[in-house]
RNA sequence: GGCGUUAUAGCUCAGUUGGUUAGAGCGAACGACUCAUAAUCGUUAGGUCCCAGGUUCAAGUCCCGGUAACGCCA
């Protein structure tokens, strides 16, 4: 039995996330966590909300609420939606937790002690009306190049020219619209990542089994141009982790907070601490290699936009601390899911959002489609036509109908109990050999975190059951040899339990219904399929379950396609 | 402007270190079956592997140059 630490990139707090966010990190992480638990491994599956930074402050302001209150509410909303999708976190934490404050400050202190923090003075635009410094992109004005009147301080979206905020004609705050701006000097802390470049580079080079997407992004940042740059880790904001050097004040840094990208990944550790405080568990045996974590295998899941922070910045924090923290062993990254020819977008309200998805269909439909089309090698495209066709075919016709035809046949020809009699022949031996091969392949793909391939193999396992029934035709056999038909259908009913166990990581709710219908709590993995197909003995009662997956009709599809064609607020 | 990823059947995608007639699912056509959610199973058709060069006994796979889509950075 292994010990597996799994983290999913932590979703930002400023609103409800769309399906692209789900398939890019949380869902595949959950698939892996559920699978590893099913195989008997000890799993710690951690996620959280990422709550600091300017966008959170602005979203709170828009909602007319204090930012702490807003974050607390949105955290609950996201937790509820996550539960709705069956995300089986051991803990869903908050980056604003006291545990994360303490840990973030401790890391900063350690890095300073190691000589990896530099204080840098810089000039930034301050808005008197807003009472705050403004990040470049929150300053608007007229572009000196093309005259576009909504150019941002970092770039003009109209002519794409790169700008400095001071280039803008009539600059104003994008938050309040105020033109009462001035340039002020302010001091910030920089993490000297450049000093760790060689160490990070050697570490990345040693990860030959990582997805190309992960290592190519990391190498690009390491070697492009002047190489890995030092990074500012503080901001002039109110909402965040106050800058401290461990438990001590940090002279000159009063009133500043750590940059959200510094404290967010540390929340993986802090969230485990939160879990420990809640449950009485031991978090350090997951994170400190001097306190029991040396045999932990740590796997991270994330979208490609998060890769630089997880391959470089966070490891720089860990390595730079010179303390025995657990480093990630494998980073599984994903491309984007597109919607209707363009990107899903939280800020533009484009696409299907997680709450809406759960409103129209049970989680398993989404889990299955999104996972079986996970954007592993390139961006993937969501279309309603594909979603309808694939979900109906795989879930309703192949799996759902298998359960239905087997249970109903047994009920009508025998009873709602596994019938006795008969013995395996060649067909059964062949089926068991075939399924065993497929199950071993499925296990290998799941262990490799090859999401699409796993889904494809699982589908093949479902199909094999239908092939067997079609070839052996128990409904015909029954007329001349009821005992043989009894054997066939007893095997098929046992197959439903096996399917439930194998499918649970993808479609946990349907799997639970299948087990409930089979009237069993036996979720043991079919290491030995021959034995597993005898788990439910002759005479064991079952009930015909309700339709597992109702079909998505053309009317539904057209209605939804229209409903989600525009944008939402 | 720099860099990265991608480009394979109508659609969505597989194709390990270069090695026989390039694969799967969906969709299509035809057939079988009638237990089942008009479900299932089988057969067949469909590809100048983006274009142009090169290396090699052998290239979808490696190299060079283009083109296109998407993304990242400045």
Residue-wise pLDDT for A187-207, tens only, equals 889 999 888 888 888 888 888
pLDDT in the model for residue A531: 97
Quick one: which residue's CA is nearest to B14's C1'? Answer: A453
Q: CA A553 → C1' B45, Å?
A: 29
According to DSSP, the β-strands at A330-334 and A296-303 are parallel
Whole-number distance in Å between A340 CA and B26 C1': 19
Q: What is the DSSP letter of A242?
A: B
pLDDT digits (tens, 9 = 90+) for A68-98: 999 999 999 999 999 999 999 999 999 999 9
Provide the percentage of residues in chain A whose pLDDT is more than 90: 60
Predicted confidence (pLDDT) per residue in A97-126, tens digit: 999 999 999 999 999 999 999 998 887 888
- Greatest distance between any 2 Cα atoms in chain A: 93
pLDDT-derived band at A127 (thresholds 50, 70, 90) equals confident
Residue A158: partners with Cβ closer than 8 Å, 6 or more residues away: A143, A146, A148, A150, A151
- Does the structure show a pLDDT above 60 at A249? yes
Please give the pLDDT value at position A124: 81
Q: A149: left (phi > 0), else alpha (psi -120 to 50), else beta?
A: alpha
Nucleotide nearest residue A154, measured CA to C1': B74
10 Å CB burial of residue A385 (0-12, 13-18, 19+) is exposed
Residue A219, pLDDT above cutoff 80: no
Q: How far is the CA of A381 from the C1' of B49 (A)?
A: 22
What Cα–Cα distance (Å) separates residue A532 from each residue in A191, A301, A537?
A: 55, 32, 11
Q: Which residues touch A467 (CB under 8 Å, ≥6 apart)?
A: none
Distance between CA A370 and CA A336 in Å, rounded?
12
Distance separating alpha carbons of residues A302 and A115, to the nearest angstrom: 30
Is residue A263 predicted with pLDDT exceeding 90? yes
User: What Å value separates CA A332 and C1' B40?
Assistant: 37
Q: Which nucleotide is nearest to A216 (CA to C1')?
A: B4
Quickly list H helices, A473-528.
474-480, 482-503, 508-517
**pLDDT of amino acid A424:** 96
CA distance A376 to A502: 22
User: Helix, strand, or coil here: A509?
Assistant: helix
Q: What is the pLDDT of residue A175?
A: 76
Contact in structure between A231 and A119 (CB atoms under 8 Å): no
CB A368 within 8 A of CB A326: no
Kindly state the tokens that stand for A268.
């993986």
Distances (CA, A) of A24 to A120, A195, A302, A507: 36, 31, 6, 17
Q: Mean of the per-residue pLDDT values for chain A?
A: 89
Unique residue bearing structure tokens 């540390």:
A266
Say whether pLDDT at A224 is over 80: no
Smallest CA–C1' separation from A396, nucleotide? B37
Q: Which residues pair with A120 in a beta bridge?
A: A188
Reply yes or no on whether the pLDDT at A156 is more than 70: no
Q: Please give the residue that has the higher pLDDT: either A567 or A192.
A: A192
Residue range A162-196, pLDDT digits in tens: 666 777 788 888 777 788 888 888 888 999 988 88
Measured distance CA(A344)–CA(A258) in Å, rounded: 29
Rounded-to-integer distance, Cα A152 and Cα A505, Å: 45
Query: What's the pLDDT at A14?
Result: 85
Q: Which single residue is written with the structure tokens 């398939």?
A: A23
Weakest-pLDDT range from A30-34, A361-365, A444-448: A444-448
Determine the protein residue whose CA lies at the shortest distance from the C1' of B34.
A475
| Pairing relationship of beta strands A257-258 and A337-339 according to DSSP bridges | unpaired
pLDDT reading at A557 higher than 80 = yes
Query: What is the C-alpha to C-alpha distance for residues A325 and A294, in angstroms, rounded to an integer?
Result: 9
pLDDT over 90 (residue A479): yes
Residue scoring higher pLDDT (A417 or A203) = A417
Which class for A556: exposed (0-12), middle (13-18), buried (19 or more C-beta within 10 A)?
Answer: middle
Distance A66 CA to B19 C1' (A): 67
> Between A199 and A40, where is the model more confident?
A40
pLDDT at A361: 94
Query: Is pLDDT above 70 for A340?
Result: no
Protein footprint on strand B: which nucleotides are under 7 Å from a CB? 2-7, 11-15, 24-27, 32-37, 39-42, 70-72, 74
Measuring from the CA of residue A476 to each C1' atom, give the nucleotide at the shortest distance. Answer: B35
How much is the average pLDDT of A123-132?
82
Whether residue A568 is predicted with pLDDT greater than 70 in this model: the reply is no
Q: What is the 3-state secondary structure (H, E, C) of A209-236?
A: CCCHHHHHHHHHHHHCCCCCCCEECEEC
Using the Cα atoms of residue A409, residue A404, residue A551 and residue A342 in order, give the sign of their dihedral: negative
The arithmetic mean of pLDDT across residues A359-371, rounded, is 94
Whether A187 contacts A250, CB under 8 Å: no
The whole-number pLDDT of residue A276 equals 98
Mean pLDDT, residues A258-263: 90
Which of A54-61's residues contact partners 24+ apart within 8 Å by CB, and which partners?
A: A54/A135, A54/A138, A54/A235, A54/A237, A55/A12, A55/A14, A56/A12, A56/A13, A56/A14, A56/A239, A57/A237, A57/A238, A57/A239, A58/A14, A58/A175, A59/A13, A59/A14, A59/A15, A61/A175
pLDDT of res. A410: 98
Query: Helices (H) and strands (E) in chain A — how many of each?
Result: 22, 19
Q: Phi and psi for A357 in degrees, rounded to 5?
A: -60, -45
Rounded to whole angstroms, the Cα distance separating A121 from A445 reads 51
Q: State the pairing for strand pair A42-49/A91-94.
A: parallel
For residue A401, is pLDDT > 70?
Answer: yes
Closest by CA to A349, choosing from A80, A61, A565, is A565
């Amino acid at each position: 039995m292994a010990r597996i630490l799994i983290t999913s990139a932590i979703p930002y707090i400023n609103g409800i996330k769309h399906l692209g966010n789900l398939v890019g990190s949380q869902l595949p992480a959950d698939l892996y966590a559920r699978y590893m638990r099913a195989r008997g491994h000890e799993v710690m599956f951690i996620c959280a909300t990422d709550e600091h930074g300017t966008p959170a402050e602005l979203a709170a302001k828009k909602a007319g609420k204090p930012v702490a209150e807003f974050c607390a509410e949105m955290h609950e909303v996201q937790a509820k939606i996550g539960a709705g999708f069956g995300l089986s976190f051991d803990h869903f934490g908050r980056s604003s937790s006291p545990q994360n404050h303490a840990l973030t400050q401790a890391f900063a202190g350690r890095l300073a002690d190691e000589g990896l923090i530099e204080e840098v003075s810089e000039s930034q635009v301050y808005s008197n009306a807003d009472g705050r410094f403004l990040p470049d992109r929150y300053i608007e004005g007229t572009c000196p190049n093309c005259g576009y009147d909504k150019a941002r301080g970092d770039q003009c979206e109209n002519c794409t020219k790169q700008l400095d905020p001071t280039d803008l004609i009539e600059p104003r705050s994008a938050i309040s619209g105020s033109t009462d701006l001035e340039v002020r000097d302010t001091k910030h802390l920089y993490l000297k990542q450049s000093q760790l470049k060689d160490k990070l580079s050697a570490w990345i080079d040693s990860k030959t089994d990582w997805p190309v997407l992960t290592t190519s992004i990391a190498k690009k940042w390491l070697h492009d141009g002047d190489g890995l740059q030092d990074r500012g880790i503080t901001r002039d904001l109110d909402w965040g982790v106050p800058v401290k050097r461990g438990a001590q004040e940090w002279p000159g840094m009063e009133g500043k907070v750590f940059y959200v990208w510094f404290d967010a990944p540390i929340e993986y550790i802090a969230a485990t601490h939160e879990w420990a405080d809640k449950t009485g568990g031991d978090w350090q045996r997951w994170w400190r290699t001097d306190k029991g974590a040396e045999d932990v295998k740590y796997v991270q899941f994330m979208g490609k936009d998060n890769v630089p922070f997880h391959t470089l910045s966070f490891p720089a924090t860990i390595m730079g601390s010179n303390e025995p923290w657990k480093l990630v062993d494998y980073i599984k990254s994903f491309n984007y899911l597109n919607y209707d020819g363009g990107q899903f977008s939280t800020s533009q309200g484009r696409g299907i959002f997680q709450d809406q998805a759960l409103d129209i269909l049970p989680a398993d439909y989404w889990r299955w489609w999104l996972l079986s089309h996970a954007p592993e090698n390139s961006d993937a495209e969501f279309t309603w036509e594909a979603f309808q066709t694939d979900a109906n075919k795989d879930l309703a016709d192949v799996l759902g109908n298998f359960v239905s035809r087997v249970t109903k046949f047994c009920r009508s020809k025998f009873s709602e109990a596994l019938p006795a009699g008969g013995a395996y022949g060649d067909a059964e031996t062949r089926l068991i050999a075939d399924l065993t091969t497929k199950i071993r392949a499925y296990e290998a793909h799941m262990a490799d975190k090859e999401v699409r391939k796993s889904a494809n193999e699982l589908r093949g396992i479902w199909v094999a059951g239908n092939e067997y029934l079609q070839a052996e035709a128990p409904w015909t056999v029954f007329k001349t040899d009821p005992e043989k038909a009894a054997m066939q259908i007893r095997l098929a009913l046992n197959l439903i339990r096996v399917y439930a166990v194998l499918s649970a990581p993808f479609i946990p709710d349907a799997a639970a219904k299948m087990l409930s219908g089979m009237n069993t709590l036996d979720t043991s993995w079919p290491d030995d399929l021959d034995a597993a197909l005898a788990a439910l003995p002759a005479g064991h009662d079952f009930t015909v379950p309700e339709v597992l997956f109702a079909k998505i009709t053309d009317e539904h599809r057209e209605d939804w396609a229209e409903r989600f064609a525009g944008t939402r607020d």
